[in-house]
Amino acid sequence: MNFQDWFGLFIAQILNTSIIEWLVVGFGVSEVLLAKKNNIWLYPTGIVSILLGMFLLFKANLYAEIILNFYYLIMSIYGWIIWKNKESHHHTEVYWSTKKELIIAVLISIIGFGVFYFLLLNLPEHFIINGANIYFTKSDVPFADAFVSAFAWAGMWLLAKRKIENWIFLNISNIVAIPLLIHKKYIMMSCLTTFLFVVAIFGYLDWKKIVNKKKLALN
């Protein structure tokens, strides 16, 4: 695909983007920017984005993707509760992960990858539940699909715990998601993911500054 084709596809996607899709993108961007600022409002904005996204996925009959987004919804609620509890007790600090937490994050990535890869390879294209026909589109890139999802899982878990390394895991997911989305011809979404990748870099640097300031204050 040359630049002219790429640009034409990008413009076509913009022109065909629904209001709900724009809202999903808008709330998704707001979520990451609020996370960068260590602001608890990242969770309600993220939840709105996830719910609207699940509505679009349901209309498109992409039930496997709905299951993945349901996990993101649960993790967002979990993170919101943890952050709200900490902020109620005036604890808004961010921290480096402990060795145990890093091991858990790595295990989430490895096990999550294995589960997703197995499902993407073996998921039937069609089956029936309660008389309703359910269709799945098999992935032509199961390795990359599974990799992106697994590291996003680990990143969401670390974000809920206010651990700096969440940005690393999320960006490992993002850096693979960008060419994957281009391959799928979701040019607009690849541009959004590139933006989120850049924001995550600054999020990591900002959270690192918070920790360093805390250390200087203690010394």
Q: For residue 141, give Cα distances in angstroms to 59, 137, 145.
A: 23, 12, 6
Angle in degrees, CA 137, 141, 147, rounded to 5: 110
* Token output for 172: 């490992």
Per-residue pLDDT at 136: 56
Q: For position 71, what pLDDT does the model report?
A: 81
Region of residue 161 (phi > 0: left; psi between -120 and 50: alpha; otherwise: beta): alpha
**What is the model's pTM?**
0.79
User: Are the C-beta atoms of 148 and 155 separated by less than 8 Å?
Assistant: no
Report the percentage of the chain scoring pLDDT > 70: 80
Tell me the average pLDDT across 53-68: 70
- Tens-digit pLDDT profile for residues 85-99: 876 655 668 899 999
Q: Where are the domains of the chain?
A: 3-218
pLDDT, mean of residues 59-68: 63
Contact 159, 166 (CB under 8 A): yes
User: Region 152-169: what's the mean pLDDT?
Assistant: 93
> Per residue in 168-195, pLDDT tens?
999 999 999 888 887 777 777 778 889 8
Q: Kindly give the interhelix angle for 142-160 and 63-88, rounded to the nearest 10 degrees.
A: 20
Q: Does the structure show a pLDDT above 90 at 205?
A: yes
List the alpha helices (DSSP H) in 37-92.
42-59, 63-88
The residue among 134, 155, 148 whose CA lies nearest residue 203 is 155
**Among 14-18, 44-48, 146-150, the range of highest mean pLDDT:** 44-48
